Amino acid sequence: MLSKTFHFSTPDGRAASYSDRKRGLWLLSVVYPLLPVFAVWLHAFSGSEWALLVPILFSYGFGPLMDGLLGEDQSNPPEQTVPELESDRYYRILTWLTVPLHVVALVVAAWWAGTQELSLFGWLALAVVAGLFSGVAVNTAHEMGHKRESVEQVLSRVALAVPAYGHFTVEHNFGHHKHVATPEDCASARMGESIYHFALREMPGGIRRAWRIERNRLARRGHGAWSLRNSIVQSWLITLALQGSLVVAFGPMMLAFLLIHNLVAWFQLTSANYVEHYGLLRLKDKGGQYERCQPHHSWNSNHIFSNLLLFHLERHSDHHAHPLRRYQSLRHFDDVPRLPTGYFGMFLLAYVPPLWFRVMDRRLLQLPHIDGDLSRVNR
């Protein structure tokens, strides 16, 4: 299962084959959410609360280091193999298996915080670590939320319930993808806008837009917004069951733990949104309509290591141009905006706005389709 060859014919009729060299390595995206569980085990084994920070050091220290050492993978699967590659259920089963692991990671972290004599430092460290990795649950939901299989739609709601971000699929699919790289999109960062200012605009804006979209969808079908037919409500109810059970099991202090956990998880999603479209703008035609979203309207990264941890999220240019493509068949393009490193390194850069502006504003203005023209920039 970890090795498979896809056979196809070239345009001139010659027989050829393709093997996905990452096929087995995609398991890294499955086990990555369990790092908080590893941190709990390491704390129990060592007795040092500093062990609880290992997942952060792995992601934001080891991650950028490995992206630098391993570099980028610019290879693409041959288009003739894509239908068979996307119908191979191995790849989608990996995303399915990841969902319960997100739940396990939160439950274990909450159990440890609620039953151990931790210092304030240790307790906060565990809440932040749990939140960082529940933020990854939004990425898992992102991959499945674009797909039409009912099992993937249900699992995406469960994954979003872990960080209490149940509105994401509606907002992302029908709000962000429609308005991406325009001033109207609360999830597209503007040139000169810090990540902190962006967060204050993006977080509440996304919730309002998602609720409006879902309310209008249900109204067209003759249903009220506060209905079990509302996909946002469905995910919120799962959140209530999951996080409510943790409060009942481990006491009122769990409310503060979950609040920190949720806010950190939400900020992880905001961090991804910030770097993915910073300053990029779709132009309007003579009729005042925005052009169709193209690969050059997203920042792309082919860095191997972080992509293997995030189900190819960083090949974002192809995702926005072709949102139904599954992660294993997303493509590299030579002529798209490219990030200097993977997301973990870019997040660190974004958290220091003067450094971010120094690196990314120059890179933005030097893009061939912008060439220093500020009228072609979202600002």
Distance, CA of 244 to CA of 212 (rounded, Å)? 26
pLDDT for the residue 1: 67
Q: Dihedral of CA 30/118/269/62: which sign?
A: negative
Distance, CA of 300 to CA of 336 (rounded, Å)? 7
pLDDT for the residue 327: 97
Distance, CA of 226 to CA of 348 (rounded, Å)? 39
Instruction: Give counts: helices (H), strands (E), the chain.
Output: 17, 2
Show me where the domains of the chain are located: 26-376
DSSP code of 325?
A: S
Please compute, for residue 44, the number of CA atoms within 13 A of its CA located in the half-sphere on the CB side. 13
For residue 244, how far is the Cα from the chain centroid?
25
pLDDT tens string, the chain, 379 residues long: the values are 677 899 888 888 899 999 999 999 999 999 999 999 999 999 999 999 999 999 999 999 999 999 999 999 999 999 999 999 999 999 999 999 999 999 999 999 999 999 999 999 999 999 999 999 999 999 999 999 999 899 999 999 999 999 999 999 999 999 999 999 999 999 999 999 999 999 999 999 999 999 999 999 999 999 999 999 999 999 999 999 999 999 999 999 999 999 999 999 999 999 999 999 999 999 999 889 999 999 999 999 999 999 999 999 999 999 999 999 999 999 999 999 999 999 999 999 999 999 999 999 999 999 999 999 999 999 9
Q: Assign 56 to helix, strand or coil.
A: helix
CB atoms within 10 A of CB 230: 21
Quote the radius of gyration of the chain (alpha carbons, Å). 21
Distance, CA of 327 to CA of 144 (rounded, Å)? 10
323 in Cβ contact with 302 (< 8 Å): no
pTM: 0.95
Distance, CA of 117 to CA of 115 (rounded, Å)? 7
